[in-house]
Every structure is written in C-alpha cells, then in structure tokens.
Structure 1
Amino acid sequence: MKKLVKAGLWVGFCVVVLVLLCNWIVVDTTRNKVYFDLKSLPSTDVGLVLGTSKYVARGKENLFFRYRMEASALLYKEGKVKYLILSGNKEAETYDEPKAMKQALTQLGVPEDAMLLDTAGYRTYDSVVRCREVYGQERVTVISQNFHNARALYLAEHEGLDAIGFAAQDVPEGYSVRTLIREYLARPKAMLDVYVLKPEAGVRETQIFDFPKAAKAFGK
C-alpha cells in the first residue's frame, strides 16, 4: 500500500510539473506578441474576437464578455482593425455567442457590415484554425483577455497564422478562479492538439453562418 501511495504521489507531482511547464512555455513564447497599449498596437485588417458567454450564473453580466466587446469596438473605431470575425459557440438558438457579440458591438457603434459571424468557434483551437482555413486570413489581431491571448497566439503560431494579440481589460482579482484554473489546464491541451491530436477544426460545422457584406472584403 505504501508503494502505491508513493507511486501515486510521484505521478501527481509529475503531472503538476508538466502542467506548469506547459503553461510557462505557452506564456513565455507569446509574451512579445501581446499588446496592452493601443498606440503601440500595429494595425491589421482583421480582428479575431474570441467568444465567451454574455452572462454568468444567475444571469449576471460576464465582465470577460463586456471588456472584450469594449476592446473590440475601440480597436475598430481607432482604425486598428477594419473588420471583426466574431468566433464563438452556437449550441442552440438560445445560446449563440457570435450573435450576442454582434448585438453588443452594434450597440457600441460598430457597423454590421464590418462584422462576420463564425458560429463554429467551439474552442479557441477552432477559432484560430478556421480563421485561416475557412476565412482565408493570414494576419490578424486576436482580441481577448491577456491570459487567453497567450494560448490563442501559441495555437496561431503553430497553425500558420501570423497573429498578434490585444489585451482587453482584465477582470478584478478573484472574479473567476474557475476560469483561471481551466486556462491552466487548457494550455497543456493546446500543446497536445498542436503536436499530437491535430483535430479537425469545425468538424461539427453546419452551414448556418451569417455572412454579412464584410465577407466580400475577405474574398469570399
């Protein structure tokens, strides 16, 4: 029994070290690609806005969503991007992240013909790969919170997409510990996807996309 316990502890220790190592690699290799200052941010034609739910438990406002939309609108208004791909999950008519993002951005003054909805962005991996393979983009600005941008940029670098990231305003400390824990685990999974699994992005895709006039600007 003692040997089993000891072996279990060693396995657990190795798993923790591996997770921390993967996190360090993802963050360290992308830190120079994330911008916090609008003035120093290079301009690109397209911004890739990564989806999240508009509301959290009990119908409360999701600050990740709010700050992400405000950052996206700011980049558009300041001419840092010309078009926005809103990539997120559409599980049902009652849960549609891209549609919610479009509504929020419209209220913030972004015109509809500057937005394209990608409802097959089930995961960050899907959003990144589809940006290149489905929408034909080679260079984009990823818009999300800093912790999320690191993983998205790591995926982009290894999937042939030239990307930089703009860090939306972060949430207050302790706002969502679950989200941070999930991100720590998602980074090793991202490395697994890149080097081992190589899943097909958008395999559950159905042709339900809302292609506004902006699609013409993407050559579609």
Structure 2
Amino acid sequence: MKRLTVMVVKGGSWALMTVFAVLTALNAWVILSTRDQITQDALECPHAPVGVVFGTSYGLKGGGSNPHFHARIDTAAQLLRLGTVDHLLLSGDNRTRYYNEPRYMWRALHAQHVPAHSMTMDFAGFSTFETVYRAHSVFRVSKAVLITQDWHLPRALFIANHLGLDAYGCVAEANRPRLDASMRVREWLARAATVGDLFLWHRVPHFLGPALPIESTDN
C-alpha cells in the first residue's frame, strides 16, 4: 500500500511537471514570436490605418477606476493626435444593457476631444480572440496597431499573426500599474489556451454578421 501511494505521488508530480513545462513552452512561443512587433513608446509606434482598442472594465471590483482602461484610452487618443492611426476601432464586451465597454471607451475618448467620425464601436468583442478576428473579418482591417498593455499584447499579436492581420503592438501605459498575481496566472493560462484555440479547436467568434468595412482604412 505504501509503495502504491509513493508511485501515485510520483506519478502525480511528474504529470504536474509535464503540464507546467508544456504551459511554459507555449507561453515562450507566444511571447518570443511577437516581441519584435511591440513598441514601448507611443511616439515610436509605426503608422497603421486603424488602431484597435481592447475593451476592459471601466471600474475595479473593489471600487475605483481601472488604470488599465485609462491607459488604453490615453494612448489611443495620443496615437490619433499624432497621426499614427487614422481611425479607432473600439472593441469590447456588451453582454448586458448595464455593461458596455465600447460605449465607455467612446465616451472617454470623446471627452478627450476625439471626434465621433474617427471612432467605430464593435459590441461583440467578448474576448481578445473575438476582437482580433472581427477586426479582420468583419471590419476588413488588414493593417492595425493594437492598443493594450504589454502583458496582453503578445497574445493579441499571436492571434493577429495566425489570422493574417498585419499588426503591431503599442504599449498602453507609461507608468505601468502593477499586475497582481491572479492576473499574471490568468494571462499565462490564456496564452496557452490561445494556442489550442488556433491550432486544435479552430475557434470561431460567437457573432460575425455582415462585413462592415472601416472606410478610412487604406486596405
């Protein structure tokens, strides 16, 4: 019985080590294959017709505003003013009438004097995958700057590369809010899951619908 217990413990340990090694390898693939597409300084980001702004919650669960949201908004407005992008695609979650990420982004950008004709809202960007997929397939974007945090960009760019979207990442924050442990683990697992979505399960978005090309692009 004791010998069996030892064997089970050893087997479980090897299994956990194998899973950890696979997850680590997948994360390394995602990060290393996209690192040359990421620009840390907004002033140095390459031009693209469209800047894709990824949705996130306006507020934090414990109260207060979300610094990641404001960093994305500030960077998007800056890139538009600089002429780095010609148009902004605001893509986020709108699952209920009381939670509307694209609308929050639109209002925040409008408050920074971004004109309405320079923004398009995508209300079905329920995930990073769906935001990138719909930008390419529904809004017919062929070249874009992806605007989000540095820890999020590798996954978004990895998806874009797989789908054939010519994309670069512009880091959305100069003074980076600290990423807590739970978010680090979540992103670590999400990168690995993305590889499965693209190469094993061939994931597709919940909603596609008719093409809605953004006219200001030079596609």
Q: How far did 1:18 drift?
A: 1.0
Q: Which residue matches 1:112? A: 116
Question: Identity across aligned pairs (percent)?
Answer: 31
Q: How far did 1:198 drift?
A: 1.2
Given that residues 53 and 148 in structure 2 are in contact (C-alpha distance below 8 angstroms), is that contact kept between their aligned partners in structure 1? yes
- Name the SS of the counterpart of 2:71 in structure 1: helix
Q: Which residue matches 1:199? A: 203
2:68 is equivalent to residue 64 of structure 1: yes
Q: How far did 1:36 drift?
A: 1.2
Separation of aligned partners in 1, 2:67 and 2:139: 28
* Misfit runs of 4+, over 6 Å: none
CA offsets, 1:85-114, max 9 Å, x none?
Answer: 111111111111111111111111211111
Q: Which residue matches 1:6? A: 10
Equivalent residue for 1:143, pick from 143, 147, 159 = 147
Q: State the one-letter code of the partner of 1:180.
A: R
CA offsets, 1:127-176, max 9 Å, x none?
Answer: 11111110011110000001101110011001110100100115333x53
Q: How far did 1:3 drift?
A: 1.4
Q: Which residue matches 2:89? A: 85
Separation of aligned partners in 2, 1:81 and 1:106: 16
Separation of aligned partners in 1, 2:74 and 2:43: 16
Q: Which residue matches 1:172? A: 177
Equivalent residue for 1:30, pick from 27, 34, 40 = 34
Q: Which residue matches 1:154? A: 158
- Name the SS of the counterpart of 2:200 in structure 1: helix
Q: How far did 1:215 drift?
A: 4.2
Question: Can you give the 5+ residue segments of structure 1 that lack an aligned partner in the other structure?
Answer: none
- TM-score (norm: length of structure 1): 0.90
Equivalent residue for 1:75, pick from 56, 74, 79 = 79
Question: Can you give the 5+ residue segments of structure 2 that lack an aligned partner in the other structure?
Answer: none
- TM-score (norm: length of structure 2): 0.91
Q: How far did 1:76 drift?
A: 0.5
